Chain A
């Protein structure tokens, strides 16, 4: 049996309470009491695309950031290609690409190419390999004209594509996207989704775990959808199975029903 690309095992995460004034000085040392993830478990197979759906504060970004080794879990474990995110974080990062929709994280005064070269080299690509990969991704992502311009002069959509190119430079086996179309207009978002579908998912080389509030985006890209509410995993299945199970015709109704926001039917009734 092949190893899952991502395994999350009874993962819990709590944060210390937010403080202001002089109490903020003590915040790094306070006990974590605010629960963000409450024992989530699931697996993502190689080449699969799993979408995370949940309200703001449901725990989607926390989950992605733990997998990206940017956060430490309070309890439980997360694995990427069999490597544990806390104790084997370097191996995890070797296999991981991460792109957050609102956070470009580029050096504004360097060109797109210089930025990609810098991050590619930090990911242990040789100078030649990094340049080849930049040329290849530049063509695939329609970035050829943008590569030699300073990042501060590029549009949001172009910077998003540049950010995705950065996440893919070192050919990661797992790609984590946190609301990748959040800051894009409708046209750029549609183009970005088409691009993800045709250039990444259809090739089947990369496992995708992404969070989104855009339901058509989830239906278009995800093979399965995990619905998270208040740090708990309510369901994880294909969109047709979720609809069948909840007797709903749309993903929106599925989400509302499972999270208890549907006035007509409660989750308990469904279980009966």
Chain B
């Protein structure tokens, strides 16, 4: 266990050390978050309508609703995107082969490489919400922080399986990320990211209920805006956990098979 944690720490240290060399990047992101937050505030002032107010959870503004949707989808994007991006970067920089001939397994490399992007995105979410609370009245007082953390963690587990499946695809076919394209593309409409699912036609609401992102967003909004505890969040959390239990072993097996296949076909380093 200590060995595993030490390897994971090592990858985090590597990414932090690389990020440290881009000194102004984080500052730029923080400033960008301020403008992003402001954009949602002013859009919400423009689009707040009686119909929308009716569809929103009681007492919640469209600004709070859409900001959570936007930043949380960013987090999901990292969960789906980070594994294959790490793999592509390692392959393009030539470090992949050298990682593979160490005594560390490729799955450990993938998980280790995901830690820094996840923590950085979590921090970015905090900055967005922080700007929103400081300048635009985002309601932070009622948030249930332990629930927020659990939702982030369970979401990470649930969607990492898709990310690992995507990296299997990249291993085999070199480019593209169908998981991201399919899930995030569809989810921009049918997950409740920028508007409540209840305003969609009935058949799209059914599709939204089959989409795990809808449950993740519901749980995050409930924890952050309504202060829901874990008992109140059991339904979306169970859905996400089922998703994780099915997808993580399946994606790990697929990844192991894809790695064997690329070692057999000699295409490991092909771009």
Are the CB atoms of A119 and B102 closer together than 8 Å? yes
Are the CB atoms of B103 and A122 closer together than 8 Å? yes
Q: How far is the CB of A105 from chain B (nearest CB, A)?
A: 4
Residues of A within 8 A of B267 (CB): 27-28
Instruction: Annotate A218-233 by CB proximity to B: 1 below 8 A, 0 otherwise.
Output: 0000000000000000
Does A244 reach chain B (CB closer than 8 Å)? no
Within 8 A of B (CB), among A11-63: 15-16, 24-25, 27-28, 32, 36, 62
Question: How many chain B residues touch the partner (CB < 8 A)?
Answer: 33
Are the CB atoms of A15 and B98 closer together than 8 Å? no
Are the CB atoms of A122 and B173 closer together than 8 Å? no
Within 8 A of B (CB), among A69-116: 69-72, 74, 90, 93-94, 96, 98, 100, 103-110, 114
Does B172 reach chain A (CB closer than 8 Å)? yes
Are the CB atoms of B266 and A25 closer together than 8 Å? no
Residues of A within 8 A of B265 (CB): 15-16, 27-28, 32
**A70 to B96 alpha-carbon distance, docked (Å):** 10
* Closest A residue to B95 using CB positions: A105
Does B249 reach chain A (CB closer than 8 Å)? no
With A28-B267, A110-B18 known as contacts, the answer to whether A166 contacts B98 (CB < 8 A) is yes
Are the CB atoms of A105 and B262 closer together than 8 Å? no
Does B235 reach chain A (CB closer than 8 Å)? no
Within 8 A of A (CB), among B205-233: none
Does B260 reach chain A (CB closer than 8 Å)? yes
Are the CB atoms of B98 and A105 closer together than 8 Å? yes
Residues of A within 8 A of B48 (CB): none
With A28-B265, A108-B93, A150-B21 known as contacts, the answer to whether A69 contacts B10 (CB < 8 A) is no
Are the CB atoms of B98 and A70 closer together than 8 Å? no
Residues of A within 8 A of B5 (CB): none
Within 8 A of A (CB), among B71-110: 93-104
Q: How far is the CB of B102 from chain A (nearest CB, A)?
A: 4
Are the CB atoms of B10 and A118 closer together than 8 Å? yes
With A70-B263, A71-B263, A107-B18 known as contacts, the answer to whether A123 contacts B102 (CB < 8 A) is yes
Interface residue range, chain A: 35 or more
Does A68 reach chain B (CB closer than 8 Å)? yes
**A27 to B268 alpha-carbon distance, docked (Å):** 13
Instruction: Annotate B6-37 by CB proximity to A: 1 below 8 A, 0 otherwise.
Output: 11001001100110011000000000000000
Does B264 reach chain A (CB closer than 8 Å)? yes
Are the CB atoms of B100 and A70 closer together than 8 Å? yes
Does B120 reach chain A (CB closer than 8 Å)? no
Does B261 reach chain A (CB closer than 8 Å)? yes
* Closest B residue to A122 using CB positions: B102
**A119 to B104 alpha-carbon distance, docked (Å):** 10
**A107 to B96 alpha-carbon distance, docked (Å):** 11
* Closest A residue to B98 using CB positions: A105
* Closest A residue to B13 using CB positions: A118
Within 8 A of A (CB), among B144-178: 172-173
Are the CB atoms of B14 and A70 closer together than 8 Å? no
**A193 to B163 alpha-carbon distance, docked (Å):** 45
Q: How far is the CB of A44 from chain B (nearest CB, A)?
A: 18
Are the CB atoms of A70 and B101 closer together than 8 Å? yes
Q: How far is the CB of B18 from chain A (nearest CB, A)?
A: 5
Within 8 A of A (CB), among B240-271: 260-268
Does A149 reach chain B (CB closer than 8 Å)? no
With A28-B173, A114-B17 known as contacts, the answer to whether A70 contacts B97 (CB < 8 A) is yes
Are the CB atoms of B264 and A72 closer together than 8 Å? yes
Are the CB atoms of B98 and A107 closer together than 8 Å? no
Choice from A71, A94, A104, A107 contacting B266 with Cβ under 8 Å: A71
Q: How far is the CB of A34 from chain B (nearest CB, A)?
A: 10
**A15 to B10 alpha-carbon distance, docked (Å):** 35
Are the CB atoms of B261 and A28 closer together than 8 Å? yes
Does A121 reach chain B (CB closer than 8 Å)? yes
Q: How far is the CB of A83 from chain B (nearest CB, A)?
A: 13
| Given pairs A28-B173, A100-B97, A124-B3, 11 additional interface contacts (CB within 8 A) | A15-B266, A36-B266, A70-B101, A93-B102, A98-B101, A105-B96, A106-B94, A108-B93, A109-B18, A123-B103, A150-B21
Q: Which 6 A-B pairs have CB atoms at the shortest separation, nearest pair first?
A: A105-B94, A122-B102, A105-B98, A109-B21, A122-B104, A72-B263
22 pairs from A and B in contact (CB 8 Å cutoff)? A15-B265, A28-B173, A28-B262, A94-B103, A96-B101, A98-B101, A104-B94, A105-B94, A105-B97, A105-B98, A106-B95, A107-B95, A108-B93, A109-B21, A109-B22, A110-B17, A118-B14, A121-B6, A121-B7, A122-B10, A122-B104, A123-B104
